[in-house]
A and B are shown apart, each in its own frame.
Chain A
Amino acid sequence: MHRDNSRSSMFTRRAALLAGGQAALISVLIGRMYYLQVLESDQYALLADENRIHYRLLAPQRGRILDRFGEELANSQQNLRALVVAERAGDVARVLAALREIVPISEHEERRILREVRRRRSFVPVPVIENLTWEQFSALNVHSPNLPGIQPEIGETRGYPKGEAFSHLIGYVAAVAESDLTGEPLLELPGYKIGKNGVERLQDDELRGKAGAQRVEVNALGRIIRELARDVGQRGADVTLTVDAELQAYAADRVDGESASVVVMDVVTGDLLTMLSVPGYEPGAFTTGLSQRAWQDLVSNPLAPLVNKTIAGQYPPGSTFKMMVALAALEMGAITPEYRVTCSGMVELGTHEFYCWKRKPGHGSLKLVEAIEQSCDCYFYDVARKIGIDKIAETSRRFGLGHSYRLGLPGERPGLMPTRDWKRVTYGQPWHPGDNFNAGIGQGYVLSTPLQLATMTARLASGRAVVPRLIKESGGKPAPFADAPAIPVSSANLKIVQEGMLRVVHGTGGTAKRARLPDGLGQLAGKTGSSQVRRISKAERQTKVRKNEEKPWIERDHAWFVCYAPADAPRYACAVLIEHGGSGAGAAAPVARDVMIETLKRDPSRRQPGERIAGDAKARET
């Protein structure tokens, strides 16, 4: 029994030790609980909320773009679409194959989707197909159990109800590119689109609005269990342009089929009433993505539908530049209005011969207004030789040539107003007397855009340094506007030039007599221009100068016409460029006249939204 007693007391001792050890371990657990649930509790509570509460951005509705009367030029429409979440889809290619049984997906699209899926994180939804019909959308929802990872969604798409005529002006929205990412979370939303061109890009910040946010509770799989809070954000502001949509649509009809630009401008305010470049492109095409083929067609089209010729096309101004030469000469006192030059159809400079457009028999003896009226080249060779390029450039700049207006539209170019220094710096060559001759008739180095010539005309009409204005209202506020300052030129001199422009249309020898306005609309003052695309060779000159109609299209002269009306109280200026149109009088002036008639009838600068147009039943119908 002694042995058993010692065994028993050993057991009791050991049991006490074991119990002690176990008690110590239990204390460890309690200590750990205290640490987790009391000391670190706040931190874990925060982590728990981070786990379960997700913020989801809600894309704000994009603001509309309106014309000056509130017509929609760009709006946002409902877009039924489908997204794919790679994480949930597993094999995306297989899901797409299943999806193809319900909606068509091109191979090109499939490649894009797979590429995007690879590029983005696996839980980011990638747009698969947009603009589904209601039937397709319903079918998708019905088949959703067989389409893992496919999310049908009602989104928003951008609509451009006025179509191609406004494509360059309005631009388009498209998917955010890698290089657009700024860290702004809105840009990371699947399928979110930003302005990529035109006003869409210029006013992107205003149009975008403020992203809303949704606080949702999610489970471990990311499935939304319930919505905790919602901030709807702020819809993008509407942007109102100075443009009169109907007027621009009329102009577009008028130059349909040409490669052309038409600008109509208010000479008092600078409001751009029309800013057209044709041909355009379907603006929605860029929003949904272009096929390779469609893109190739756009790029290789000789009419350059992708170029906004109004601001990005730089052309020699031709004879429309003669007003600048005349005004520069008058201002510096180099000539008086009575200064006469006798045109024999040709001027010699050393061995070089410079021809007048009316080569035989020439214009004879002309004074300034007559030279403008008949667009005599010899007269302006002479004047340009007298005053030199630098004086011409100085005046031209005051009238808006040779520099950009910083409208903010992508692609706006400054044109070119050469000077002696410019040529020396650029070409390392001195300015030749012959360069003066070329500049005198708006050829040679001088380049300008249709917008610049419209501005020049507006400034000639008003004598004020009006600046083209495109945005009328943005973010609910009228765009800042200041009265244009007077241009420091003598009004008497300006009148002489204006007289010359009036005689272009109304004088007996005017180059654009056919551009007269119908009775009741007042008088039109203008100037034709034809700018040579190609130097006429001496050999050609000696045999026969081909008429424009005989040349291939690409070699024909660009046709210009600039004008303003009414001549006695100018309100509207217009510049028309028809690329390779031949002569200004033949191709551009009739267009400018018709556009000006429409402008004067509509009188958009004075008319309030909704107000009727006097005496024109046709305009009201549309």
Chain B
Amino acid sequence: MSFGGPTLGLKENELTLVQKLLGIRWLLLILIGMAVGVGVIGLVSVGKGRFEPWADRQILRFGVGLIALFIVALTDIRIWLRLAYPLYALALALLLAVHFFGTVAMGAQRWLDLGPVNIQPSEVMKIALVLALARYFHGLSYEDVGRPHYLIVPMLMAFAPALLVLKQPDLGTAMMLLLGAASIFFLAGVRFWKFALVIGGAVAALPVAWNFLHDYQKRRIHTFLDPESDPLGAGYHILQSKIALGSGGVFGKGFMQGTQSHLNFLPEKQTDFIFTMLAEEFGMVGGLTLIAIYVAIMIYGYAMALRVRHQFGRLVGLGVVSTFFFYVFINMAMVMGVVPVVGVPLPFVSYGGSAMLTLMIGFGLLTNAYIHRDVPLPQHGGVPA
């Protein structure tokens, strides 16, 4: 495969727009819409029964996200295959830029001010890393994956952005990047013992890593281990979140009746802790409903990805689904006090534009892979000889 001309190799097996549109799984979009709907209900509650200022903007962002999803989904997959590395390089460059020129917000340097738009390079990286790793493993044969030296490059590809994000400091996103990357390694067939080796090495390096953590991160981990030790300080979030959740009971306190949330005992209830508020107001029934929607999305994602016949599409598809899963799991586990407090939003539900766009583009890529499931992609296309 060469980069000779923009149209070379794309003309053959080109799908018509109609074929593409037929490939879109509308049920997936409906499930995502349901998750966004749950989020809108929560944001209306936060807004004390009003759509502004949160719910309306969230709906708008969903609309923008849908457009992005369609554009991404309908673009020929070979363009994505070809753009995988350049996109990764761009994302890495942005991360470096943010490291040097970024705007500090909420105590962390995450944003890059580009005049009219602020972009969060770590969000771009979530997609770019999935694409780049998928592209890399797409080019490796079954045997190649078994050879350790082939794993050095993708490991660097994963760790480099993760470290940059950790420096920002954003522990949550760094974890998300590594877990997403690990999923792709795992799906690509990397042996279990190699994972064991890396994890073992990481554990051994923990004491060293501890020193690189910021005080607030150390405190969060410490607080996570013993939240009651500091109920008015750093442990406040976890404790109040558990109280709100627990007091919701099976059926909840009712829409807009969540006392803990509405009396502001619960922090960041429209963003990271929105699940707590939903679970307080709608109880375990409401919480399980949302989880069911998420599980349905994931099952659908698996089903779609498994029908893709090329490695690139499969890896991108499940890479996206895994990233989505880790969003869900880390956020919920955090608000329930299972993992330390890290800034990971609840996908489609938490108020916020970056995560929404990332996820919609991600699901656009999944849909794209599904649409182009039968398009033959040359295995060694693009892999440097």
B189 touching A220 by the CB < 8 A rule?
Answer: no
Residues of A within 8 A of B333 (CB): 28-29, 32
A48 touching B244 by the CB < 8 A rule?
Answer: yes
The minimal Cβ–Cβ distance linking A4 to chain B, given in whole angstroms, is 7
**Can you name 23 A-B residue pairings with CB atoms under 8 Å?**
A3-B141, A6-B142, A7-B142, A8-B309, A10-B189, A12-B306, A14-B186, A22-B322, A25-B329, A26-B329, A29-B336, A32-B333, A37-B249, A41-B247, A41-B248, A44-B242, A44-B244, A47-B246, A51-B263, A52-B259, A52-B260, A52-B263, A219-B264
Residues of B within 8 A of A44 (CB): 242-247
Interface residue B128 (Cβ < 8 Å from any Cβ of A): no
Residues of A within 8 A of B255 (CB): none
The stretch among B151-159, B281-289, B349-357, B359-367 that forms the contact with chain A is B281-289
Residues of A within 8 A of B242 (CB): 36, 44
- Could you list 19 further interchain pairs (A-B, Cβ under 8 angstroms) beyond the known A11-B188, A52-B259? A12-B306, A15-B187, A18-B183, A18-B318, A19-B302, A26-B328, A26-B329, A36-B242, A37-B249, A37-B283, A37-B287, A41-B247, A41-B248, A44-B247, A48-B244, A51-B263, A217-B259, A219-B263, A220-B265
Q: How far is the CA of A36 from the CA of B279 in the complex (A)?
A: 11
Interface residue A34 (Cβ < 8 Å from any Cβ of B): yes
* B-contacting residues, A259-274, CB 8 Å: none
Residues of B within 8 A of A8 (CB): 309, 311
B249 touching A52 by the CB < 8 A rule?
Answer: no
* A-contacting residues, B279-299, CB 8 Å: 279, 283-284, 287-288, 291, 295, 298
- Taking a contact as CB atoms closer than 8 A, the residue among A17, A33, A47, A217 that contacts B263 in the complex is A217
A18 touching B249 by the CB < 8 A rule?
Answer: no
Q: How far is the CA of A225 from the CA of B265 in the complex (A)?
A: 13
* A-contacting residues, B120-161, CB 8 Å: 141-143
Residues of A within 8 A of B143 (CB): 3
Q: Which 7 A-B pairs have the closest CB atoms?
A: A44-B246, A48-B247, A219-B263, A220-B264, A37-B284, A45-B247, A10-B189
A4 touching B379 by the CB < 8 A rule?
Answer: yes
The minimal Cβ–Cβ distance linking B187 to chain A, given in whole angstroms, is 5
Residues of B within 8 A of A34 (CB): 284
A218 touching B338 by the CB < 8 A rule?
Answer: no
The minimal Cβ–Cβ distance linking B257 to chain A, given in whole angstroms, is 12
Chain B 224-268 interface 0/1 with A at a Cβ cutoff of 8 Å (1 = within):
000000000000000010111111111000000001100111000
Interface residue B314 (Cβ < 8 Å from any Cβ of A): yes
Residues of A within 8 A of B311 (CB): 4, 7-8, 11
Residues of A within 8 A of B245 (CB): 33, 36-37, 44
A38 touching B265 by the CB < 8 A rule?
Answer: no
Q: How far is the CA of A43 from the CA of B246 in the complex (A)?
A: 8
Nearest neighbor of A4 in chain B, beta-carbon distance: B379
Known: A29-B333, A52-B259, A221-B264. A41 touches B189 (CB 8 A): no
Nearest neighbor of B251 in chain A, beta-carbon distance: A37
Nearest neighbor of A37 in chain B, beta-carbon distance: B284
Known: A48-B260, A219-B264. A22 touches B325 (CB 8 A): yes
Nearest neighbor of B283 in chain A, beta-carbon distance: A37
Residues of A within 8 A of B186 (CB): 14, 17-18
The minimal Cβ–Cβ distance linking B236 to chain A, given in whole angstroms, is 9
Nearest neighbor of A13 in chain B, beta-carbon distance: B189
A51 touching B287 by the CB < 8 A rule?
Answer: no
A41 touching B249 by the CB < 8 A rule?
Answer: yes
Interface residue A568 (Cβ < 8 Å from any Cβ of B): no
The minimal Cβ–Cβ distance linking B163 to chain A, given in whole angstroms, is 25
Interface residue B332 (Cβ < 8 Å from any Cβ of A): yes
Interface residue B305 (Cβ < 8 Å from any Cβ of A): yes
Q: How far is the CA of A225 from the CA of B247 in the complex (A)?
A: 20
- Taking a contact as CB atoms closer than 8 A, the residue among B141, B287, B298 that contacts A33 in the complex is B287
Q: How far is the CA of A564 from the CA of B141 in the complex (A)?
A: 126
Q: How far is the CA of A367 from the CA of B314 in the complex (A)?
A: 135
Query: CB within 8 Å of B: which residues of A?
Result: 3-4, 6-8, 10-12, 14-15, 17-19, 22, 25-26, 28-30, 32-34, 36-38, 40-41, 43-45, 47-48, 51-52, 217-221, 225
Residues of B within 8 A of A51 (CB): 240, 243, 259-260, 263, 265
Residues of A within 8 A of B306 (CB): 12, 15
Residues of A within 8 A of B314 (CB): 11, 15
The minimal Cβ–Cβ distance linking B178 to chain A, given in whole angstroms, is 15
The minimal Cβ–Cβ distance linking A442 to chain B, given in whole angstroms, is 70
Residues of B within 8 A of A22 (CB): 298, 322, 325, 329
The minimal Cβ–Cβ distance linking B240 to chain A, given in whole angstroms, is 8
B244 touching A33 by the CB < 8 A rule?
Answer: no
Residues of A within 8 A of B328 (CB): 26
Known: A11-B187, A14-B189. A38 touches B291 (CB 8 A): no
A33 touching B265 by the CB < 8 A rule?
Answer: no
A32 touching B336 by the CB < 8 A rule?
Answer: yes
Q: Which of B263, B328, B332 has the most CB of A within 10 A?
A: B263
Residues of A within 8 A of B329 (CB): 22, 25-26, 29
Known: A3-B143, A29-B336. A37 touches B264 (CB 8 A): no
Q: How far is the CA of A4 from the CA of B189 in the complex (A)?
A: 13
A45 touching B249 by the CB < 8 A rule?
Answer: yes
Q: How far is the CA of A6 from the CA of B284 in the complex (A)?
A: 43
A32 touching B338 by the CB < 8 A rule?
Answer: yes
The minimal Cβ–Cβ distance linking B58 to chain A, given in whole angstroms, is 23
Q: How far is the CA of A38 from the CA of B250 in the complex (A)?
A: 6
Nearest neighbor of A7 in chain B, beta-carbon distance: B142
Residues of A within 8 A of B247 (CB): 41, 44-45, 47-48
B187 touching A18 by the CB < 8 A rule?
Answer: yes
The minimal Cβ–Cβ distance linking A12 to chain B, given in whole angstroms, is 6
* A-contacting residues, B5-43, CB 8 Å: none
* A-contacting residues, B177-234, CB 8 Å: 183, 186-189
- Taking a contact as CB atoms closer than 8 A, the residue among B243, B249, B250, B338 that contacts A29 in the complex is B338
Residues of A within 8 A of B260 (CB): 48, 51-52
B250 touching A36 by the CB < 8 A rule?
Answer: no
Known: A11-B187, A41-B246, A43-B246. A36 touches B298 (CB 8 A): no
Known: A48-B244, A52-B259, A220-B265. A41 touches B141 (CB 8 A): no
Q: How far is the CA of A17 from the CA of B243 in the complex (A)?
A: 35
B250 touching A41 by the CB < 8 A rule?
Answer: yes
The minimal Cβ–Cβ distance linking B145 to chain A, given in whole angstroms, is 8
B142 touching A29 by the CB < 8 A rule?
Answer: no
A48 touching B259 by the CB < 8 A rule?
Answer: yes
A36 touching B189 by the CB < 8 A rule?
Answer: no
A10 touching B264 by the CB < 8 A rule?
Answer: no
Known: A29-B329, A37-B279, A40-B246. A7 touches B263 (CB 8 A): no
Residues of B within 8 A of A48 (CB): 243-244, 246-247, 259-260
Nearest neighbor of B259 in chain A, beta-carbon distance: A52
